[in-house]
Amino acid sequence: MSNSKTGLPGLTSALKNKLIQQALERKLRDAGREPPATPAGGRKAASPVPEAYTRFDQYPGYRQLRIMSDGAARLGVRSPFFKLHEGTANAQSSIAGKTYINYASYNYLDMSGDPVVSQAAKDAIDRYGTSVSASRLVSGERPIHRELERALADLYEVDDAITFVSGHAANVTTIGYLFGPRDLVVHDELIHNSVLQGIQLSGAKRLSFAHNDADALDRLLAEQRHQFERVLIVLEGIYSMDGDYPDLPRFIEIKRRHQAFLMVDEAHSLGVMGKTGRGIREHFGLPGNAVDIWMGTLSKTLAGCGGYIAGETALVEHLKFLAPGFLYSVGMPPPVAAASLAALQRMLELPERVATLQARGQYFLARAKAAGVDTGSSAGIAVIPAILGSSLRATRWSDALFEQGFNVQPILYPAVPEQSARLRFFIACTHSQEQIDRTVQAMQILLKKL
Residues that contact ligand PMP, how many (by CB under 6 A): 14
For β-strands 293-297 and 261-265, DSSP reports them as parallel
- 21, 27, 30, 35 alpha-carbon torsion, rounded to 10°: -50
Q: Tell me whether residue 177 or residue 363 sits nearer to ligand PMP (CB atom).
A: 177
Element (H, E) at 262: strand 261-265
Q: For residue 135, with 0-12 CB atoms within 10 Å meaning exposed, 13-18 middle and 19 or more buried, which class applies?
A: middle
Q: Tell me whether residue 171 or residue 329 sits nearer to ligand PMP (CB atom).
A: 171
Cβ 163 vs Cβ 333: under 8 Å: no
The answer to the question of residue 360 lying near ligand PMP (CB under 6 A) is no
Q: Where are the beta strands (DSSP E) in 54-193?
A: 92-95, 98-102, 160-164, 184-188
Cα–Cα distances (Å) from 110 to 115, 272, 395, 428, 437, in that order, read 10, 12, 27, 7, 20
CB atoms within 10 A of CB 114: 21
Cα–Cα distances (Å) from 105 to 117, 140, 173, 240, in that order, read 17, 30, 26, 12
Task: Lay out the sheet containing 98-102: strands in order across.
Answer: 92-95, 98-102, 406-407
The Cα 398–Cα 389 span in angstroms is 13
- Write b or e for each residue in 408-422: b if 16 or more Cβ atoms lie within 10 A of its Cβ, otherwise e: bbbbbeeebeeebbb
Contacts of 1 (CB under 8 A, 6+ apart): 13
Q: Tell me whether residue 83 or residue 393 sits nearer to ligand PMP (CB atom).
A: 83
The answer to the question of residue 420 lying near ligand PMP (CB under 6 A) is no
* DSSP 8-state code for residue 138: I
List the one residue from 93, 102, 105, 166 that touches ligand PMP (CB under 6 A): 166
Stretch that binds ligand PMP, among 137-145, 162-170, 225-233, 367-375 (CB under 6 A): 162-170
How many degrees, rounded to 5, is the angle at CA 239 between CA 237 and CA 240? 120
Provide the mask over 29-48, with x wherever binding to ligand PMP is found by CB under 6 A and - wherever it is not: --------------------
List the one residue from 136, 187, 192, 424 that touches ligand PMP (CB under 6 A): 192
Stretch that binds ligand PMP, among 62-70, 78-86, 125-133, 166-174 (CB under 6 A): 166-174
List the one residue from 92, 93, 102, 240 that touches ligand PMP (CB under 6 A): 240
The answer to the question of residue 168 lying near ligand PMP (CB under 6 A) is yes
Stretch that binds ligand PMP, among 54-62, 66-74, 265-273, 439-447 (CB under 6 A): 265-273
Provide the mask over 195-234, with x wherever binding to ligand PMP is found by CB under 6 A and - wherever it is not: ----------------------------------------
- β-bridge mates for residue 345, sequence order: none
Q: Tell me whether residue 367 or residue 424 sits nearer to ligand PMP (CB atom).
A: 424
DSSP letters of 58-85?
Answer: G-HHHHHHHHHHHHHHHTTPPP-SS--B
Provide the mask over 392-411, with x wherever binding to ligand PMP is found by CB under 6 A and - wherever it is not: --------------------
Cβ 361 vs Cβ 381: under 8 Å: yes
Rounded least distance, CB 164 to ligand PMP, Å: 9
List the one residue from 114, 236, 282, 292 that touches ligand PMP (CB under 6 A): 236
The answer to the question of residue 267 lying near ligand PMP (CB under 6 A) is yes
Q: Tell me whether residue 194 or residue 435 sits nearer to ligand PMP (CB atom).
A: 194
List the one residue from 167, 176, 279, 380 that touches ligand PMP (CB under 6 A): 167
Cβ 318 vs Cβ 169: under 8 Å: no
Provide the mask over 268-307, with x wherever binding to ligand PMP is found by CB under 6 A and - wherever it is not: x----------------------------x-x-------x
Rounded least distance, CB 340 to ligand PMP, Å: 11
List the one residue from 265, 281, 310, 316 that touches ligand PMP (CB under 6 A): 265
The Cα 170–Cα 267 span in angstroms is 11
Stretch that binds ligand PMP, among 78-86, 114-122, 263-271, 282-290 (CB under 6 A): 263-271
Residue least distant from ligand PMP (Cβ) = 167
The residues binding ligand PMP (CB under 6 A) are: 166-168, 171, 192, 194, 236, 240, 265, 267-268, 297, 299, 307
